[in-house]
Amino acid sequence: VLADIAAVDLALRNGLATVAAGGLREKVAKPHYTRSLPARDALRRQADRLFFAELWARMAAGSDAEQGALRLAFVNTLAGIARDEFDRALPAIPCASLMRPRAETRGRRQLEYGLAKAVKGLQAEETHVDA
């Protein structure tokens, strides 16, 4: 459960840091990551509310396939929350108005890449278990 939360948190952090860096991923530095903290805190608060229910559901799952399905559903839920927090955080991140469209597009792409990577890893595990 914690690894799933961390993967989604990382995607949100990288997406917002990219926006803060004006869309230039190679220019991202510690101050840019700091801009993502309020959104990441909000994500963690919501993840905390879901944590124990998810943990008990996984413990009650009878098979690896059931656990994989639960895990995938949990990551998809967290991904939706991360997207909402990303959208809420955008107006608070300073960026030159000329660069904002590019920065937001690249930041969203970075977020979606991180979320897709988390989901793809779970689907690969699920395929491996089924084989």
Q: Where are the domains of the chain?
A: 2-130
Q: Token pair 């559901």 is at which residue?
A: 57
pLDDT at 77 (0 to 100): 97
pLDDT at 57 (0 to 100): 93
Burial of 19 (0-12, 13-18, 19+ CB in 10 A): buried
Model confidence, pTM: 0.89
Span 9-37, pLDDT tens digits: 999 999 999 999 999 999 999 999 999 99
Span 35-59, pLDDT tens digits: 999 999 999 999 999 999 999 999 9
Mean pLDDT score across all residues of the chain: 92
Task: For residues 49 and 86, give the distance between their C-alpha atoms in angstroms, rounded to a whole number.
Answer: 19
Report how far apart the first and last C-alpha atoms of the chain are (Å, whole number). 23
pLDDT at 130 (0 to 100): 54
